[in-house]
Amino acid sequence: MLRQVADGVRVHQSELLQNNTIVVRGTAGVLLVDPGITGDEMACLAKDLDGEPVVAGFATHPDWDHVLWHPDLGDVPRYGTAACAADLQGLLENADWKTRVAGAMPPEIVDETPLELFGLISGLPTGTDQLPWDGPQVRIIEHQAHAAGHAALFIEDHGVLVAGDMLSDVLIPMLDVTGEPDPIEEYLAALRLFDEVAAHVQFVVPGHGSVGGADELRTRIAQDRTYVQALHDARELTDPRIGPSPKSGWAWVNDVHTGQLERLAHRRDPDALS
């Protein structure tokens, strides 16, 4: 079911991981951002559009659950940053890419998630800061937090910030600890980019979790900064998304946190875990 966030902007949420697909109304049709995640959910999304044609897609980053597509959504340009597209191209060049992608999925949806149109993203020229489509102005805010070529979208006319896998009320910041030379600073830099537009944002839509208002945006930026700074300082922290009482169904985020601590410790001292 589509839920209206702002005039011309709606959200369709998946059941298992609370993935948010963003639907933006344009002149001749709609833009879809990060559609997912099972075949039935994407077919439902197409049906809920009630005849509105899809004219473009956008993937905020190359994680498997953000680069899916379904035939019912149409054969249209699907954009991402140049780095996002390059990352996916590198994956798709492997003969066993479907096995790799399936291995990253929750096992209960492997058979329910179609991969025929997976990852077919056209990279925009490096430095592109506006989405090329016939609709409201959409600013591309590219950074290197979380994943290669990650981009948030700011739908300026409607005051909606589409954050990708950041600013979530259910997921902690997940750093790109394997790809970036300084993943903590890259994440803090991305949060500073969000600070720059925060005064103009009325709603924030994370890749997973609940839509928040302007005050919630500032709260989430501060919460994520506190978490990442604690990782930098290697100190304990209190965060409602982890600990003994996480949100129901999200206890596995504790494992993400523990693994992240271990990988960062290993980066500081490669002999620490040997």
- Give dist(CA 167, CA 217) in Å, integer: 7
What would the pLDDT profile of 217-270 be if each residue is shown by its tens digit?
999 999 999 999 999 998 888 899 998 887 778 999 999 999 999 988 888 877
Residue 274 has pLDDT above 80, yes or no: no
**pLDDT, tens digit, 9 for 90 and up, residues 131-151:** 999 999 999 999 999 998 999
Q: How much is the average pLDDT of 100-129? A: 97
The helix or strand, by DSSP H or E, that contains position 116, with its residue range, turns out to be none
Average pLDDT over residues 64-91: 98
pLDDT band of residue 273 (cuts 50, 70, 90) is: very low
In the predicted model, is pLDDT for residue 153 greater than 80? yes
* Cα dihedral 83, 88, 94, 99 sign: positive
- Please report the pLDDT score of residue 1 as a whole number: 87
Residue 95 backbone zone (phi > 0: left; psi -120 to 50: alpha; other: beta): alpha
Q: Is the pLDDT of residue 104 over 90?
A: yes
pLDDT of residue 201 exceeding 50: yes
| Contact between residue 254 and residue 246 where contact means Cβ atoms under 8 Å apart | yes
pLDDT for 243 equals 86
Peptide bond before 184: cis, by omega within 30 degrees of 0? no
CA 263 to chain centre: 22
CA distances from residue 91 to 59, 95, 121, 175, 178 in whole angstroms, order as listed: 15, 9, 12, 20, 16
Task: Compute how many other C-beta atoms are within 10 angstroms of the C-beta atom of residue 124.
Answer: 22
CATH 3.40.50.2300 for the 2-268 domain, yes or no: no
Q: For residue 224, give both structure tokens.
A: 């994520």
Q: Name the DSSP class of 159.
A: T
Q: Which two tokens stand for residue 134?
A: 């016939």
Average the pLDDT over 96-114 and give the result.
97
Mean pLDDT score across all residues of the chain: 95
Give kind and range of the element (H or E) at residue 26: none
Q: How many H-runs (helices) and E-runs (strands) does the chain carry?
A: 6, 12
Q: Which residues, 6 or more positions from 247, have their beta carbon under 8 angstroms from its beta carbon? A: 169, 170, 240, 241
Q: How many CA atoms lie within 13 A of 9 on its CB side?
A: 23
Assess whether the previous peptide bond of 37 is cis (omega < 30° from 0).
yes
**In which residue are the tokens 């304990």 written?**
236
In the sheet with 160-164, reading across from the earlier edge strand, the strands are 138-143, 150-155, 160-164, 203-206, 212-213
Output the pTM of the full model: 0.95
Say what the pLDDT of residue 272 is.
55
Question: What is the helix (H) or strand (E) element at residue 33, kind and residue range?
Answer: strand 30-33
C-alpha to C-alpha distance for 85 and 180, rounded to whole angstroms = 17
For residue 79, the SS3 value is: strand
The mean pLDDT value for 164-178 works out to: 94
pLDDT digits (tens, 9 = 90+) for 6-31: 999 999 999 999 999 999 999 999 99
Contact by Cβ (8 Å): 265, 194: no
